[in-house]
Amino acid sequence: ILNVEQSPQSLHVQEGDSTNFTCSFPSSNFYALHWYRWETAKSPEALFVMTLNGDEKKKGRISATLNTKEGYSYLYIKGSQPEDSATYLCASPPSGGTSYGKLTFGQGTILTVHP
Protein backbone atom coordinates (compact mmCIF):
# COMPACT_ATOMS: atom_id res chain seq x y z
CA ILE A 1 0.00 0.00 0.00
CA LEU A 2 1.31 3.43 -0.95
CA ASN A 3 2.29 5.61 2.02
CA VAL A 4 1.33 9.24 1.61
CA GLU A 5 2.38 11.40 4.52
CA GLN A 6 1.66 15.02 5.30
CA SER A 7 3.26 17.43 7.71
CA PRO A 8 2.61 19.23 9.87
CA GLN A 9 -0.61 17.68 11.15
CA SER A 10 -1.91 21.13 12.14
CA LEU A 11 -0.85 24.70 11.70
CA HIS A 12 -2.00 27.99 13.22
CA VAL A 13 -1.07 31.22 11.49
CA GLN A 14 -2.10 34.86 11.67
CA GLU A 15 -4.00 36.57 8.90
CA GLY A 16 -1.54 37.86 6.33
CA ASP A 17 1.13 35.26 7.06
CA SER A 18 2.39 33.05 4.29
CA THR A 19 2.62 29.37 5.02
CA ASN A 20 3.49 26.06 3.45
CA PHE A 21 3.15 22.38 4.17
CA THR A 22 4.44 19.14 2.77
CA CYS A 23 3.19 15.94 1.21
CA SER A 24 5.62 13.06 0.74
CA PHE A 25 5.05 9.93 -1.30
CA PRO A 26 7.13 7.05 -2.70
CA SER A 27 8.99 8.30 -5.76
CA SER A 28 8.94 4.96 -7.60
CA ASN A 29 6.07 4.34 -10.07
CA PHE A 30 4.78 7.87 -9.62
CA TYR A 31 1.59 8.63 -11.55
CA ALA A 32 -0.02 11.77 -10.13
CA LEU A 33 -0.36 13.86 -6.99
CA HIS A 34 -3.64 15.50 -6.01
CA TRP A 35 -4.26 18.33 -3.57
CA TYR A 36 -7.72 18.83 -2.08
CA ARG A 37 -9.09 21.47 0.26
CA TRP A 38 -11.72 20.34 2.77
CA GLU A 39 -13.61 23.05 4.63
CA THR A 40 -15.66 22.13 7.67
CA ALA A 41 -19.15 20.85 6.80
CA LYS A 42 -18.40 20.97 3.07
CA SER A 43 -17.19 18.52 0.43
CA PRO A 44 -13.47 18.17 -0.26
CA GLU A 45 -12.73 20.10 -3.45
CA ALA A 46 -9.87 19.51 -5.84
CA LEU A 47 -7.17 22.18 -5.92
CA PHE A 48 -4.49 20.73 -8.17
CA VAL A 49 -3.55 17.59 -10.06
CA MET A 50 0.20 17.38 -10.64
CA THR A 51 1.92 14.91 -12.90
CA LEU A 52 5.34 16.10 -14.06
CA ASN A 53 8.52 16.56 -12.08
CA GLY A 54 9.05 20.27 -11.55
CA ASP A 55 5.34 21.05 -12.04
CA GLU A 56 4.18 24.27 -10.47
CA LYS A 57 0.49 25.06 -10.25
CA LYS A 58 -1.20 28.22 -9.00
CA LYS A 59 -4.74 29.19 -8.11
CA GLY A 60 -5.02 32.69 -6.68
CA ARG A 61 -2.88 32.85 -3.53
CA ILE A 62 -2.35 29.10 -3.41
CA SER A 63 0.40 27.34 -5.32
CA ALA A 64 1.99 23.91 -5.33
CA THR A 65 5.23 22.38 -6.51
CA LEU A 66 6.15 18.80 -7.28
CA ASN A 67 9.40 16.85 -7.02
CA THR A 68 8.83 13.30 -8.22
CA LYS A 69 12.50 12.28 -7.97
CA GLU A 70 12.61 12.84 -4.22
CA GLY A 71 8.91 12.20 -3.62
CA TYR A 72 7.47 15.40 -2.20
CA SER A 73 5.10 18.23 -2.99
CA TYR A 74 4.76 21.58 -1.25
CA LEU A 75 1.58 23.60 -0.97
CA TYR A 76 2.06 27.34 -0.40
CA ILE A 77 -0.49 29.91 0.70
CA LYS A 78 0.54 33.54 0.34
CA GLY A 79 -1.06 36.11 2.64
CA SER A 80 -3.33 33.66 4.48
CA GLN A 81 -6.93 34.70 5.07
CA PRO A 82 -9.43 33.26 7.59
CA GLU A 83 -11.34 31.70 4.70
CA ASP A 84 -8.25 29.60 3.93
CA SER A 85 -8.87 27.70 7.16
CA ALA A 86 -9.47 24.09 6.12
CA THR A 87 -7.92 20.66 6.03
CA TYR A 88 -5.58 20.25 3.07
CA LEU A 89 -5.32 16.70 1.77
CA CYS A 90 -2.90 15.20 -0.69
CA ALA A 91 -3.46 11.91 -2.47
CA SER A 92 -1.85 9.69 -5.06
CA PRO A 93 -2.95 6.62 -7.01
CA PRO A 94 -1.44 3.53 -5.36
CA SER A 95 1.17 1.38 -7.11
CA GLY A 96 1.50 3.70 -10.09
CA GLY A 97 -0.82 3.76 -13.06
CA THR A 98 -4.55 4.19 -12.87
CA SER A 99 -5.22 1.58 -10.12
CA TYR A 100 -8.85 1.56 -11.19
CA GLY A 101 -9.26 5.19 -10.25
CA LYS A 102 -8.33 4.70 -6.60
CA LEU A 103 -6.47 7.27 -4.50
CA THR A 104 -4.44 6.88 -1.30
CA PHE A 105 -4.75 9.89 0.99
CA GLY A 106 -2.46 11.44 3.55
CA GLN A 107 -3.87 12.34 6.95
CA GLY A 108 -4.16 16.01 6.06
CA THR A 109 -2.85 19.30 7.39
CA ILE A 110 -5.39 21.30 9.39
CA LEU A 111 -4.80 25.00 8.78
CA THR A 112 -6.33 27.62 11.05
CA VAL A 113 -5.89 31.26 10.11
CA HIS A 114 -6.56 33.65 12.98
CA PRO A 115 -7.89 37.16 12.21
Task: Say what the alpha-carbon torsion angle 54, 11, 87, 62 is, to the nearest 10 degrees.
Answer: -40
Rounded to whole angstroms, the Cα distance separating 85 from 115 reads: 11
Binding mask 19-38 for another protein (x = CB under 8 A): ------------xx-x-x--
DSSP lists the bridge partners of residue 21 as 75
**Is residue 96 at the binding interface for another protein, with CB under 8 A as the rule?**
no
**Is residue 89 at the binding interface for another protein, with CB under 8 A as the rule?**
yes
Find the binding residues for another protein in span 47-66 (CB under 8 A).
49, 51
Shortest reach from residue 14's CB to another protein, in Å: 24
Shortest reach from residue 93's CB to another protein, in Å: 5
Rounded to whole angstroms, the Cα distance separating 108 from 47 reads: 14
Task: Answer for the pair 21, 89: CB distance below 8 angstroms, yes or no.
Answer: no
State whether residue 99 is helix, strand or coil. helix
Q: Which residues bind another protein (CB under 8 A)?
A: 1, 4, 9, 31-32, 34, 36, 41-46, 49, 51, 89, 91, 93, 98-108
